[in-house]
Amino acid sequence: MQYWLMKSEPDEVSIDDALAAPQQTVAWTGVRNYQARNFMRDAMRIGDGVLFYHSSCAEPGIAGLAEVASTPYPDPTQFDPASKYHDPKAKPEAPRWLLVDVRAVQKSPMIPLALLRTHAELAEMLILQKGSRLSITPVTPAQWNFITGHLMK
């Protein structure tokens, strides 16, 4: 069992959108960074815990809890010329981009980025490092426990 933080722009898919989706599950489309892709392809397992993070919005921060809900499979948007995530170099017989399904578990009290920064226990979180912009990052059990057990109370 591992833990992750996954960024989503709430204008595209918010925690509320995910909770309202069938099975409360959304396909994590649009990742176009190899490191983030590799986490989904190689490291994630069904049932892994996910911190659902809102980025590029008025109040960036952790907005809910979710879990990995599928094994990896090709991101269909890479083959869709109408999608902004279209990748002309991807072919169905050789997909470049894989994703997993994510099931929203619950909305949480909003935990703003600025608040995360105030806790020494979270100083090592990858998302808090200078220049970090990876959209999917691993979270340690200690960080997970601190956030879910302390900040979400």
| Interface residues toward DNA, by CB under 7 A | 7, 32-35, 55-57, 60, 113-114, 130-135
Which is closer to DNA, CB of 90 or CB of 152? Answer: 90
For residue 62, the minimal CB distance to DNA (Å) is: 11
Rounded alpha-carbon distances, angstroms, from residue 32 to 40, 55, 114? 12, 16, 27
Contacts of residue 54, defined as CB under 8 A and 6 or more positions apart, other chains included, come to 7, 8, 9, 10, 14, 15, 60, 61, 62, 63
Judged by beta carbon, residue 84 or residue 153, the one nearer DNA is 84
Shortest Cβ 115–DNA spacing (Å): 10
Q: Which is nearer to DNA, 46 or 115 (CB)?
A: 115
Minimum distance from residue 6 beta carbon to DNA (Å): 10
Query: Two tokens at 3?
Result: 């833990």
For residues 59 and 122, give the distance between their C-alpha atoms in angstroms, rounded to a whole number. Answer: 19
